[in-house]
């Protein structure tokens, strides 16, 4: 074997060794994103203005988790209720007067429209009155729909296809601190956790429609009273 061939194989072996070391280091640091497919989408930045964000569509098994850090820094709003996250279904809201988290889901079920039915669904092992005596319930009622068009691809029109709203209302959360909120869904079962503890659980009356499109965070000037951080949506559980 001549000198030129030896040099060729030496450099080839050296390059191969360097590549092996780089790949090993990257795997150890978990920097190869395609090695393990992620099912979580997260907004890493602090959200202080109305923001549109694209989440994945929920998996067919309808298991998903919303997570966010919520800080309310001003409670003097003229609105009773502010929207935290509007994805058409669900819509996550905050009652500024009572501190309750409200979550609205749409369902393709016809309900009487002549009156607000306030039908109470069966909670999943949770009492209907909190420590202060406040009644906490999950209701089924007609969807407040405006407009006469019926285009399911138009977010402004989607309610015409889903005439029933199922509402989950939790006990109050404190405004004096940063709250880490998690909303776990498993088909019809909803669990709301605040700061690692289960705040409320409920069983929806019907299987909800879950909008696969974008979400709007802190719309309608909700950002004047609160901000969000570490917002994420996880599915494929």
Q: What's the CATH number where 95 sits?
A: 2.60.120.200
Residues 118 and 3 in one domain: no
Same domain, 95 and 172: yes
- 129 and 19 in a single domain? The answer is no
DSSP 8-state symbol, 34: G
Q: What does pTM read for this prediction?
A: 0.70
8-state DSSP, 173: -
Q: Which range (35-49, 129-143, 213-227) has the least confidence?
A: 129-143
pLDDT over 70, % of the chain: 72
Confidence category of residue 118, pLDDT binned at 50, 70, 90: very low
Together in a domain, 95 and 112: yes
108 and 195 in a single domain? The answer is yes
Tell whether 23 and 99 lie within a shared domain. Answer: no
In the beta sheet, which residues pair with residue 104?
Answer: 91, 167
Same domain, 32 and 49: no
pLDDT tens digits, 146-194: 544 444 455 556 777 888 899 999 999 999 899 999 999 999 999 999 9
- Residue 176, domain extent: 41-234
Look at residue 17 and tell me whether its pLDDT is greater than 60: yes
141 has pLDDT over 80: no
The reported pLDDT for the residue numbered 38 is: 45
Q: Are residues 25 and 105 in the same domain?
A: no
Together in a domain, 83 and 25:
no
Same domain, 204 and 104: yes
Cα separation, 169 vs 164, in Å, equals: 16
> What are the DSSP calls for 152-165, one per residue?
TTSTTTGGGT--EE
Is it the case that residue 26 has pLDDT exceeding 80? no
Contact (Cβ atoms closer than 8 angstroms) between residue 178 and residue 70: yes
Residues 147 and 185 placed together within one structural domain of the fold: yes
Domains contained in the chain, number: 2
Per residue in 68-110, pLDDT tens?
Answer: 999 999 988 888 999 999 999 999 999 999 999 999 999 988 7
Report which of 185, 180, 186, 217 is spatially closest to residue 54, judged by C-alpha positions: 217
Task: Give Cβ neighbours of residue 128 (< 8 Å, ≥ 6 apart).
Answer: 120, 135, 136, 137
Alpha carbon 182 to its chain's center: 8
Residues 126 and 11 in one domain: no
């Amino acid at each position: 074997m001549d000198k030129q061939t030896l040099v060729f194989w030496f450099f080839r072996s050296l390059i191969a060794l360097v590549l092996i070391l780089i790949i090993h280091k990257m795997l150890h640091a978990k920097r190869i994103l395609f090695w393990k497919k992620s099912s979580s989408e997260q907004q890493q930045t602090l959200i202080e203005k109305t923001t549109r964000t694209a989440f994945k569509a929920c998996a067919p098994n309808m298991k998903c988790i919303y997570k966010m850090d919520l800080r309310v820094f001003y409670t003097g709003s003229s609105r009773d209720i502010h929207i935290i996250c509007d994805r058409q279904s669900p819509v996550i809201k905050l009652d500024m007067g009572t501190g309750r988290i409200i979550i609205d889901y749409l369902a393709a079920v016809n309900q009487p429209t002549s009156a607000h039915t306030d039908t109470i669904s069966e909670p999943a092992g949770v009492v209907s009155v909190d420590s202060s005596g406040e009644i906490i319930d999950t209701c089924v009622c007609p969807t407040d729909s405006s407009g006469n068009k019926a285009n399911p691809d138009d977010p402004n029109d989607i309610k015409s296809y889903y005439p029933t709203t199922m509402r989950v209302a939790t006990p109050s959360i404190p405004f004096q601190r940063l709250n880490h909120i998690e909303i776990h869904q498993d088909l019809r079962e909803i669990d709301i956790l605040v700061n690692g503890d289960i705040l409320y659980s409920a069983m929806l009356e019907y299987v909800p429609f879950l909008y696969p499109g974008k979400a709007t965070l802190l719309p309608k000037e909700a950002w004047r009273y609160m901000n969000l951080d570490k917002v994420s949506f996880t599915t494929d559980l």
